[in-house]
Structure 1
Amino acid sequence: MADSDIPGLIAEMGKRARAAAVQLAGMTSDAKRGALLSAAAAIRADSESIVAANARDMASAQASGLSGALLDRLRLDAARVESTAAGVEAVAGLDDPVGRTIDRVERPNGLVLSRIRIPIGVIGIIYESRPNVTADAGALAAMSGNAAILRGGSEAIHSNRAIHAALARGLAAGGMPPAAVQLVPVTDRAAVGAMLTAEGLIDMVVPRGGKSLVARVQAEARVPVLAHLDGLCHTYIDRAANPAMAQSLALNAKMRRTGICGATETLLIDRAFADPTPVLAALADAGCELRGDGEVRAIEPRTCPAACEDWDTEYLDSILSVKLVDGADAAIAHIAAHGSHHTDAIVTEDAATAERFLAQVDSAIVMWNASTQFADGGEFGLGAEIGISTGRLHARGPVALEGLTTYKWVVRGTGQARP
């Protein structure tokens, strides 16, 4: 397809999505749940073909030199396809926010005012690498009464098409309009630009990817953006941390899965902490490349010298920057200067210090004595997530069903005229 045809393609998809959104907004919760369960069954039925399609993407990605962490994001096997189908079922089991009364008040003149949750309308989701997002985003949009236009990354094109085919077939069999969840059929980057300028057709865009994608979306968008920025997450080990817990959490927060946005990228350690040697040794023994200054290298000789940019880098790999700081206030200041407002954690047995950290660190998710790898909608009981919003407006943290709704005022009167 020529570049000149792509705006027309997106416009046509937007029109179909708008018509589908009207129908979705009128569906009952039970009807939406039934359609999602049908979609989950269709994904399971197509497991072999989805894995085969993913093998084509994996071969291309390996040939192009994609990093190990990004290959892990891309890879699908039977277990991950089952997890994807289970994620769709989990969304079906969530409480439907649409139609929920947020609050209600009766005015002195007798007017009854209510705020009611409603779908946003048509949501464009632009994402990279992870093919499971095709199902997660589609399921969340459909359950919250929104039509979705999905634009996945070129590296996962065959996987995305296979998952979308199963998802769409199942949703339609369950009674949803065929255009409820559409996948942009081209990989041309012009499709992203067309989505970002589709005013009146797309109500909100959700970018889910690296810095370059999010920067482009924020620079070019003419429709509202719910930004999922990079996960430059920190774990701070306080002087009052339990040493065994500190070692366990630091290792898990970095090495459980290095390619997810909740992976810790910088480890801050209080200079007054009892002994950082076992913590750093455990990380190095696990294959993590440590980067720090001379002070850190004196503790763990396998540490590489850190550059200024290390404190501002989301590695998404087995690399961790390490810095010693003078207490919680210094850790909070470092996070304010270098963090991405995603997820930051403190390890300490001092409740007062923990509460100060939780109050003063300005991130969407702050944690006490827990691994940053818990920064996930499923772990929060929200089912799948469409992303983790690091902004301040509308939704913050894991964005699931409620984050994909807005509200309207409903006013009921008995003939009141304003004097």
Structure 2
Amino acid sequence: MSHPYPLCGVSRRSHFNIRTADSRNFLPKSGNNSREIHPKLPDAHPVRLGYNPSVMFDKLFQLGEKPYDTEDAEWDAFVATHPQGSILQTTNWARLKGRFGWSGQRVWLKKNGKLVAGAQILFRSAVFGMLKMAYIPHGPLVDWNDEEQVEVLLNQIDYAVWQRGAGILKIEPLLWQEEMPPEQWQAICERYGLLPETDTIQPPRTILVDLRPSEDEILAAMKQKTRYNIRLAARKGVTVRKGNETDIPVFVRMMQITGQRDGFGVHDPMYYKVAYELFAPSQAALFIAEYEKRPLAAVMVFTIGRKAAYFYGASTNEERQRMPTYAVQWAAMQWAKERGCATYDLWGIPDAPPEQLEAEFTERNDGLWGVYRFKRGFGGHIRRTVGAADRVYNRHVHRLYRWWRGRQQR
């Protein structure tokens, strides 16, 4: 019987159309509740002496290299409307990471001709090639309460990871603890052989500002001092304009100044340039606060569906008393609201309970504590994801990964 989707297979065990970047039908079986996953390879696909699936697969599929097509558009539309959708699961995010040492692959499931679940997987090697890991930022996108859907998707992910020869997979679903309590997430991890006690790459705790009320109501929900600083910036002659690609060098210089001043790492200058080129103007914008035409602060904001997120922000050491950082952040929120976004993600605060955050933020400046003092002023609600979980295919690689991450975090 012909199938309407090229490169798709129909699973014998489910109602889903399944797809990886490989055209073979495959539904591997992974052992549940196992600390080391061993995908079962189909008889039709033996691993022959001299056959390197990783090399073959890299040639078959690279999200960062192939032209944007209708399949990419279909995937991005799915991500934009999925409850757990994130800019980190879009095609262009894989392209961005592909310019800086990662490669990407997409796996998805269809039911009745429509995408219902999937994952965009990033792959990277480290420690002189001894550590090869797979990573799904803010994914996979799946109904975690649908056992069949989760099992089929994880099996396909297993196969993709095997194809690339990775020994560990890290997932970080954008799944809020309000919707998935810790004990329920723990049970899911045990059922599917995931290890939830692991490090996170994306900050699990953040502040979401509700953009659905009027601007006056949004301002009223802010801390009094933040509201005052926004208005003070305007009185002191600070203006905010929407930037373009010619402003990226200015933004990069401000990022470097901010990193040196506040003691955090910044990306390669080309990273910000490529990010802007890939996402602007449809999904990103750069805002610059100025005084007498001198740039003082800037933010780069991204949108997906009805969600906006503040990824990168910077400021100079000049005219800080004019509060340019407050003015530029408010301008970005206004822009996101005009675009129909319902939430504005301030992207990352210390991973501590709200009571501890309020008790200690005036005394601490380590890690994300310094930015929490600023971000809390914009109101919003503190939310936490379920965090990260590891799927281990090789215990030795997993131990190497933990050692490597430990050195990075010193």
Task: Calculate the TM-score normalised by the size of structure 2.
Answer: 0.30
